[in-house]
Structure 1
Amino acid sequence: MDLRVGVVVITHNRRDELCRTLGALRALPEAPHVVVVDNGSEDGTARTVRERYPWVELVASEKNLGAVGRNVGVARLETPYVAFCDDDTWWAPGSLARAADALDASPDVAVITARIVVEPAGTEDPIVAELRESPVRGRPGLPGPALGSFLAGASVLRREAFQEVGGFHPRLWLGGEEELLAADLAAAGWELCYLEELTVHHQASAARDADKRLRDGIRNTLWFTWLRRPVPAALRRTGVVLRQAEIGRPALGGVGAALAGLPWVLRERRVLPPHVEARFLALEDAQRRSAARRYVR
């Protein structure tokens, strides 16, 4: 039993997928403390967790909190490190212990992101190549390539750092919500990196609203861009997002939602310090060429 890493899982109306994930987590040699935050499911998820998984700490929210459910879960843990897990992802045996070892050895690292294997095919997610070849420069001697952002469902975070910057922003809800948190961590002096030795399995759930994911992803990317990037960079990034977006009602809805949020975005706007902005400048070419990051359903 490894007492260094706890696991937070958020879920919404995916009872069967969650059961598969909990079965995999139960079999891990690290035997982590698992917190499940049920985001207002209506399919009996909370009841099933209570009856079948008594070793899980359940938080049954009356409404869908989105990514903020992770904030709730982290607040329940006392472990120094927290592994996030979606209801359709699960960690490979030994990965949590290896992540904890890496974080123990690098006290300035806040986030370590794992290699993602797509199931049932067992192939690497296309985003892995971009993580492995990240152009971001971190300090010398990091455990792996430095990152500008991370994927929550495939990452282990230092709880102290997560709480220091306030966790996930409530307005972003879900969909690309990691970028803002990553930027704020870097601005606070923390490092983020990819570690090849860690593995997360992902079997995408069929229970997803593709239109909403596209709409919210575009909205959140634009919100982050105008919350933290200097004006010239924000204009460039906005142009890339609009060119890459699949034309249709979801994309237009995302742009409209982003514009509607402009008053609060301008009120909370805080431009990144130069050393952090340099991370996002380094990613611009990769983001333009990326096949994995395009805003399509």
Structure 2
Amino acid sequence: MITWNRRREVLSTLDHMAALPDAAPIIVVDNGSADGTADAIARRHPGVTLIRSPRNLGAVARNIATERIATPYVAFCDDDTRWEPGALTRAADLLDAHPGLASITGRCLVEPDLREDPITPELRDSPVPGPAWLPGPALLGIMAGLTMLRADAFCQVGGFSPRLWLGGEEELLALDLAAHGWWMCWSPDVVIRHAPSPARDPRQRRRHGIRNTLWTAWLRRPVTGAVMHTFDVLSGAPKDAATAGALAEALRGLPWVLRERRVVPAEVERGLRLLAAPRRAGRARRYVG
């Protein structure tokens, strides 16, 4: 679990996670909170492994936590997401049974009315072709707070990129897993609740999300696919300062993006092309707010 300046949310989430019958060890990285979060965790949950980062590392904090685990799998959890009882065990059982599987992403129910997250149709009805042994629809993306990963696979691709920091950072990781021959899938029986924290800046998250998806496209997709994705993202985004800032940041990063560019195999790109239409039609990837 990673957290930053959300003491109330993280304590409530830890109360829930520590009481699960799955009895999984918990590691929390405090990303340099200034509200006493780390001290509060240490007092209330002394059994939790607490890593105090002096600064906000974003998603890279998950890499640091993964280096400390002694289990074959790692389940990510945000400070406003809670795995339901038994969900961790079900995800681990699926990874046990399928050694070619890198990750299991669960079904997200959004509080307070427990409606399915808008991303659900894209996951449940994924058009990505996969082998017959997959225990669920094949994916080319994950949602970090809803996913358990095989630790070896995560480390093989280098974890989350420090370049992307936070916001859509999972996309690059997933493409690298697919490029290395790993499979990812969705399971409706692995359930996670999400209570979106009010302590977030949706415009900054959108800015980072647009920037990171553009960087990922140009880092990993052939030119035609990258151009198509860039057009889809920018045509669907609000024409405002946040979008303009995201585009400016993306352009400033172009030199390192071109230096580090590694195009995914053709079969991965074919899967991404199949995903383009449902992503355009869905609500989950509209950069609004």
TM-score range, shorter chain: over 0.9
**TM-score (normalizing by structure 1):** 0.96
- Residues 125 and 137 of structure 2 are in contact (CA less than 8 Å); yes or no, is this contact kept in structure 1? yes
The answer to whether the aligner puts 1:231 opposite 2:228 as a matched pair is no
- Residues 122 and 279 of structure 2 are in contact (CA less than 8 Å); yes or no, is this contact kept in structure 1? no
1:115 to 107, 111, 135: 107
1:277 positional shift: 1.2
Corresponding position of 1:261: 253
The answer to whether the aligner puts 1:284 opposite 2:276 as a matched pair is yes
The answer to whether the aligner puts 1:18 opposite 2:10 as a matched pair is yes
1:161 to 127, 149, 153: 153
In 2, the alpha carbon distance for the partners of 1:284 and 1:125 equals: 19
2:61 to 66, 69, 77: 69
Q: Tell me the secondary structure at the aligned position of residue 85 of structure 1.
A: coil
1:83 positional shift: 0.5
Q: Tell me the secondary structure at the aligned position of residue 22 of structure 2.
A: coil
2:94 to 84, 99, 102: 102
4+ runs deviating over 2 angstroms: none
2:132 to 113, 117, 140: 140
The answer to whether the aligner puts 1:49 opposite 2:41 as a matched pair is yes
In 1, the alpha carbon distance for the partners of 2:97 and 2:85 equals: 20
Corresponding position of 1:202: 194
Corresponding position of 1:58: 50
Matches within 5 A, 1:33-44: 33-44=25-36
For 2:283, give the aligned amino acid.
Answer: A
For 2:251, give the aligned amino acid.
Answer: L
Q: Tell me the secondary structure at the aligned position of residue 82 of structure 1.
A: strand
1:210 positional shift: 1.3
1:292 positional shift: 1.1
1:236 positional shift: 0.6
**TM-score (normalizing by structure 2):** 0.99
1:40 positional shift: 0.6
Runs of at least 5 residues in structure 1 that lack an aligned partner in the other structure: 1-8
In 2, the alpha carbon distance for the partners of 1:201 and 1:273 equals: 34
Instruction: Give the number of equivalent residue pairs.
Output: 289
1:246 positional shift: 1.2
Q: Tell me the secondary structure at the aligned position of residue 134 of structure 2.
A: coil
Percent of aligned positions that are identical: 56
The more displaced of 275-284 and 163-172 is 275-284
1:78 to 67, 70, 75: 70
In 1, the alpha carbon distance for the partners of 2:52 and 2:70 equals: 20
For 2:170, give the aligned amino acid.
Answer: E
1:82-124 Cα offsets, whole Å, 9 max, x none, are 1000000010000111111100000000010000000111111
Runs of at least 5 residues in structure 2 that lack an aligned partner in the other structure: none
1:276 positional shift: 1.4
For 2:245, give the aligned amino acid.
Answer: G
For 2:275, give the aligned amino acid.
Answer: L
